[in-house]
């Protein structure tokens, strides 16, 4: 039997995910758009997520040209702007630190910076050329919900999200900058169509939701050009991997869904505590052997 806390009975967690165009290397324009979207939608939401590196853009010149520190007055003005809303805001940026630039997703709530999550799994063909990397996986908590953030390519791997789930996260935000040329070269796969890659990525999100019993919230850019397509597809999946809300392709909008708060606090019938501790140790040992054996793929 599920014990419902009388103080939270009837409470629903309202989640929004923005999809839309981004102005490359134009921090001011993107800040204006973030404030506009917050003003129009935040009052009806508990969480609102924007895409990966949304403040800067993702082109090489944008990463360097619009990278800012968390102490930048323009970013601090955005943090202060959120003080007027009882909404957790997640915004991507190119974050400048002393040792370089990081692909970060900031978490803002009521005029405070709760922290940032950096991209855990960078792409080898692009990210590692422009971003520093760190393995600092954060678990956030707000509005009575524990949540984690897996930026773009990170959702191609189950391990980061599993780590978050085992540390109590039941809500997973996946900000993306998933725009691709009509055909692209993917390591290990050769030349594939952007549509095929997109379908794989969406399937990854649904799989994480289903296997880990997490609500998964994707936010992505809209790009329409002869050289690149970004569908938007800022979808929200429930814990059965079923779409609770779906963004219309190539359309600027905020995709919204709501869930009873108990979804994020009660124990699902798939209980990871049933997994024997010895099996976790076996997985860790297998991982060490896998990484040590260059011939193993």
Domains in the chain, please, with CATH? Answer: 12-269 (3.60.110.10)
| pLDDT band per the 50, 70, 90 thresholds, residue 107 | very high
**CB–CB of 151/120 below 8 Å?**
yes
Residues 129, 138: contact at Cβ < 8 Å?
Answer: no
**How far from 213 is each of 24, 112, 133, 241, 294, CA to CA, in Å?**
35, 29, 28, 8, 33
What crossing angle do the helices spanning 158-166 and 194-212 adopt, rounded to 10°?
20
DSSP letter string, 47-100: EEE--TTTTT-SSHHHHHHT-B-TT-HHHHHHHHHGGG-S-EEEEEEEEEETTE
Q: Please write the tens of the pLDDT for every residue from 248-293.
A: 999 999 999 999 999 999 988 888 999 999 999 999 999 999 999 8
The mean pLDDT of the chain is 92
- How many Å apart are CA 289 and CA 106, to the nearest integer? 35
- pTM assigned to the model: 0.93
Neighbouring C-beta atoms of residue 260, cutoff 10 Å: 15
Structure-block tokens of residue 63: 């990463």
SS3 103: strand
Evaluate if residue 127 carries a pLDDT over 90.
yes
Residue 7: per-residue pLDDT: 56
Per-residue model confidence as pLDDT tens digits over 21-72: 999 999 999 999 999 999 999 999 999 999 999 999 999 999 999 999 999 9
3-state secondary structure of 223: strand
* Distances 94 to 64, 89, 117, 149, 247 between C-alpha atoms, Å: 8, 16, 12, 16, 25
Instruction: For 181-210, write each residue's pLDDT tens digit.
Output: 766 655 566 556 677 888 899 999 999 999
**pLDDT surpasses 70 at 153:** yes
């Amino acid at each position: 039997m599920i014990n419902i806390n009388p103080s939270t009975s009837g409470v629903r967690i309202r989640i929004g995910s923005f999809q839309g165009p981004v102005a490359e290397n134009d921090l001011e324009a993107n800040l204006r758009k973030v404030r506009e979207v917050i003003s129009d939608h935040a009052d009806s939401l508990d969480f609102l997520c924007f895409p990966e590196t949304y403040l800067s853009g993702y082109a090489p010149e944008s990463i360097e040209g619009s990278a800012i520190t968390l102490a930048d007055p323009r970013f601090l003005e955005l943090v202060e702007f959120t003080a007027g809303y009882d909404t957790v805001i997640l915004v991507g940026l190119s974050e400048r630190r002393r040792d370089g630039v990081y692909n970060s997703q900031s978490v803002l709530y009521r005029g405070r910076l709760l922290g940032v999550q950096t991209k855990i799994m960078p792409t080898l063909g692009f990210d590692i050329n422009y971003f520093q990397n760190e393995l600092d996986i954060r678990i956030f908590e707000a509005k009575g919900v524990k949540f984690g953030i897996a930026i773009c390519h990170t959702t191609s791997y189950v391990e980061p999200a599993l780590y978050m789930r085992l540390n109590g996260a039941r809500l997973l935000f996946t900000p993306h900058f998933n725009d691709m040329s009509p055909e692209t070269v993917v390591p290990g796969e050769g030349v594939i169509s952007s549509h095929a890659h997109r379908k794989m990525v969406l399937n990854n999100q649904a799989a994480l939701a289903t296997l880990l019993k997490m609500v998964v919230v994707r936010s992505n850019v809209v790009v329409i050009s002869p050289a690149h397509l970004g569908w938007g597809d800022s979808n929200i999946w429930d814990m059965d991997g079923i779409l609770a809300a779906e963004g219309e392709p190539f359309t600027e909008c905020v995709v919204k869904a709501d869930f009873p708060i108990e979804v994020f606090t009660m124990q699902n019938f798939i209980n990871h505590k049933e997994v024997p501790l010895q099996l976790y140790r076996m997985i860790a040992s297998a991982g060490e052997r896998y990484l040590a054996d260059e011939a193993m793929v």
